[in-house]
Structure 1
């Protein structure tokens, strides 16, 4: 008698047909749950520069940052209890096609999309006003 479980023929064991492999726990977790998409420091700096300017003008009051598997979203609010006025989104899956960055308004319409965040954020250089 041994302490090891008895396996049917062909499923490992003493016969040597199959060998066990060691898997790194961090690799296993990475494959199961990939890291979320995030804004890099320079991207966040560019977004927060525009945000600070608009807060100074009294247009915007609050923001939220969401990091999800598919995309990262910087939401901009007039008041914290409302729907976001604008969302700056980073979606790496669209990087080779239309560009990873986009600015979306409250109704879901894409105002500007592109490969360069600085160019996409130029949409805020124009006077954008919320129409009721």
Structure 2
């Protein structure tokens, strides 16, 4: 049922299916947190979901994009039908938060990134004071 609703939502809009799916998932966050009794702020959960979506931002192959959208629709349907356990969602949200914090760490100090071996395309070496 939820998959059909998500499919109808995707068909109504003319924007990217990934963006439409993202918006639909974000709208369902408070409901999911209530259903599974997860003590997390909806804004924090939304940031974790955003990080999970951004992890696949560089995927350009249309077949892979369609597969990822289909998998996300199935995950959402299973979540809304309560076929998952609380630990599954907590693991998913923790992964998203770890991605978010690791992305924040990379952007803090270019010199520390250099010492850690992390390459960043838009490094701001002008800000380093010797």
Higher helix share: 2
- For this structure pair, what is the TM-score category when the shorter chain's length is used for normalisation? under 0.3
Q: Which of the pair has the greater relative contact order for Cα pairs under 8 Å at 6+ separation?
A: 2
Higher strand share: 1
